[in-house]
Amino acid sequence: MTLDVLQRLRGGLITSCQAYPGEPMRHPETMAQVAESAVRGGAVGIRAQGIADISLIHERVPVPQIGLWKVGSEGVFITPTLAHAVVVANAGAEIVAVDGTRRPRPDGLTLADTVRGFREQSDALLMADIGSVADGLAAAEAGVDCLSTTLCGYTDERPKADGPDLEVLAELAATVDLPVFAEGRIHTPAQAAACRDAGAYAVVVGTAITHPATITGWFAASISR
């Protein structure tokens, strides 16, 4: 794997294709179809969760994939350990997204240990999903290949605004010598453009493109009295 993967994502839209436990669309075939549709629409990359989804999407779509493995939904849950990260890479993800916060990890490793251990076992790239500027600076120091604002508003360090956390994005993009991806609560094309203007290397959109239950709820609420 080479940094060419990052070049292919530069300046583009990445579509996150995820369905959650118990949801009707939670099936690898469904997520692969959603991913193929996103590529037709112009996505330059796909973000996907779970080993079966990642494997099938790797076969079906010709663009780089950011893979992750969610374990639960509390605390450190995005690809929480080195072992999870290696399995995600082996399933075909060109970039593995891991929890990139400063919180203790379930396997007791630091993020720097995780990066070192991962490099020994895989040539995939590592994305740190961070929740604050301090997380981003620490993750860069730990040696990851890129950052994403995925967890801003989902840890206790930042408020959960309606839209993306442009403050963290802009500050990290201006200070860290790594690609900083914008991700989290980007719900409109205007917000995506604002992320680009704030210095995002690329923009990741999930819910607003690939989660019909939520999108339907937005419309239903808008016309309810």
Ligand X SMILES: CC(=O)N[C@H](C=O)[C@@H](O)[C@H](O)[C@H](O)COP(=O)(O)O
Give residues in contact with ligand X (CB under 6 A): 16, 18, 68, 150-151, 154, 183-186, 204-208
In the bound state with ligand X, the residue whose beta carbon lies nearer, of 142 and 204, is: 204
**The two three-digit tokens of residue 97, written as one number:** 């997204």
The maximal CA–CA distance of the chain, rounded, in angstroms, is 58
User: Closest distance between ligand X and the C-beta of residue 150, in Å?
Assistant: 5
In the bound state with ligand X, the residue whose beta carbon lies nearer, of 179 and 184, is: 184
User: Closest distance between ligand X and the C-beta of residue 73, in Å?
Assistant: 7
User: Closest distance between ligand X and the C-beta of residue 59, in Å?
Assistant: 21
Strand partners, 137: none
User: Closest distance between ligand X and the C-beta of residue 72, in Å?
Assistant: 10
User: Closest distance between ligand X and the C-beta of residue 164, in Å?
Assistant: 8
In the bound state with ligand X, the residue whose beta carbon lies nearer, of 69 and 118, is: 69
- Residue spans of beta strands (DSSP E) within the chain: 13-17, 45-49, 65-68, 95-99, 125-129, 146-148, 180-183, 203-205
In the bound state with ligand X, the residue whose beta carbon lies nearer, of 70 and 116, is: 70
Closest CA to 51 of 73, 75, 80, 79: 79
List Cβ neighbours of 205 (8 Å cut-off, separation of 6 or more): 13, 14, 15, 16, 186, 192
b/e 62-92 (16+ beta carbons within 10 angstroms → b)? ebbbbbbbebeeeebbbbbbbebbbbbbbbb
In the bound state with ligand X, the residue whose beta carbon lies nearer, of 4 and 69, is: 69
